[in-house]
Homo-oligomer: A and B are copies of this chain.
Amino acid sequence: MTRKILVLPGDGIGPEITAQASRILAACQAHGLDVEVEEALVGGAAYDEHGEPLPAVTLDKARAADAILLGAVGGPKWDKLEDLAKRPEKGLLGLRKNLGLFANLRPAITYPQLASASSLKPELVAGLDIMIVRELTGGIYFGQPRGIEVRDGQRVGFNTYVYSESEIERIGRVAFELAQKRGKRLCSVDKANVLEVTILWREVMEHLAPEYPDVELSHMYVDNAAMQLVRAPKQFDVMVTGNMFGDILSDAAAMLTGSIGMLPSASLNESGQGMYEPCHGSAPDIAGKNVANPLATILSVAMMLRYTLGEPTLAQRIEDAVGKVLDDGLRTADISSEGMRTVSTSDMGDAVLAAF
């Protein structure tokens, strides 16, 4: 059965990095992977063409795909769009919501070859391997009511942070199951000393715990979690949290590793369909210059092979190829260091292909 993959290059460096990842995908096809690959527009690129960040044609193709590979969306060009619904980010948020991609897996791993690139002391990040599980289709990102309106003669902005028990339970199970397959420690992050919605969050996590007796569940307030990530990130195995806290903590954790240009992510729904994308953003400042790091996107293909396509052997081949080019001393500008060879986006793609 031929599976369908949709590539959404998006904005900024998106097209350059997905181009390299698509070459790896083609190499996998040459090695017997039975997939059909299509492309479509999303984000600012889609807005420019169709006046919408998530045109119906893109959404239809996304619905029909088994897996999606996304580059990145957004950029200053569209930041001034008055109508929030037209902004590039809404393309991404619309995909998440419409496809029910509620489980965002955001690994924060330090590549041994890159440990010195971290801003943290090497001993604090060497061997770091955290998995942050972020709820992606609920919370304050999607809560109603929301808006800006006039009250008592002045404008007031408001958003709603909301979770139901079933939403919390669903993401909780994903996190507990991942913890079972890893270090068996799960830290749930909330602000239960202030926010009612996270009191419920904590209760549901506690309620699930007896079903996973081999996993040790702990709770941490979000402010403390931010501190602990900075102080001693290796204390964590799996972390689970809501959409907004997850946005902040997963980016901070990724940056800690010094490997943010290397980190893929997966966003999964209940039927295993997934969207895969690099953790980094669209980096408009370096777009079009053939200097961006394509490795996070290439590794997103590996994650796709593992989580959606059930091809762990091909996934491993990609990961090994990336390891080899790093061992060989090749670096894009973002991860370059003394004594290493700084290469372009396409050179890096060439090198991974050659090592594949």
Chain B residues positioned under 8 Å from A141 (CB to CB)? 194
* Complex partner residue of A196 from B147, B163, B251, CB under 8 angstroms: B147
Q: B160 near A164 (CB under 8 angstroms)?
A: no
Residues of the B chain whose Cβ atoms lie less than 8 Å from the Cβ of A341: none
Which residues of chain B have C-beta atoms less than 8 A from A87's C-beta? 193
Distance, CA A223 to CA B250, complexed state (A): 8
Give the number of copies in the complex.
2
Q: A147-B196, A247-B222, A247-B223 are in contact. Are A162 and B157 (CB under 8 A)?
A: yes
Bound form: Cα–Cα A89–B192 in Å? 10
| A132 contact set on B, CB distance < 8 A | none
Residue in chain B with minimal CB distance to A168: B157
Q: Is the CB of A148 within 8 A of B230?
A: no
A119-B230, A254-B227 given; A161·B148 CB < 8 A = no
Considering the complex, which residues of chain A in the window 40-79 have a beta carbon less than 8 Å from any beta carbon of chain B? 74, 79
> Chain A interface mostly helix, strand, loop or mixed?
helix
Check if A165 is an interface residue, CB within 8 A of chain B: yes
A198 part of interface (Cβ distance < 8 Å): yes
B248 touching A231, Cβ below 8 Å: no
Residues on the B chain within 8 Å of A209, using CB: none
Is A1 interfacial (CB 8 A cutoff)?
no
- Chain B residues in 8 Å Cβ range of A33: none
- Please determine whether B140 and A195 come into contact, CB atoms closer than 8 angstroms: yes
**A140 touching B119 in the complex, CB below 8 Å, given contacts A84-B196, A199-B84, A230-B255:** no
Q: How far is the CA of A312 from the CA of B309 in the complex (A)?
A: 66
- Give the contacting residue for A164; candidates B156, B159, B164; CB below 8 A: B156
Type the 1/0 row for A254-289, where 1 means its CB is closer than 8 Å to any CB of B. 111000100000000000000000000100000000
Q: Which B residues touch A151, using CB under 8 A?
A: 164
A-B contact pairs, 20 of them (CB 8 A): A119-B120, A120-B121, A148-B199, A151-B164, A154-B164, A154-B165, A155-B200, A156-B163, A156-B165, A157-B162, A157-B201, A159-B160, A161-B161, A191-B247, A223-B247, A223-B248, A226-B251, A227-B260, A230-B230, A231-B255
Residues of A within 8 A of B (CB): 74, 79, 84, 87, 89, 93, 119-121, 124, 140-141, 143, 146-148, 151, 154-166, 191, 193-201, 222-224, 226-227, 229-232, 244-245, 247-249, 251-252, 254-256, 260, 281
Which 3 residue pairs of A and B lie closest in terms of their CB atoms, listed nearest first? A157-B200, A157-B197, A226-B252
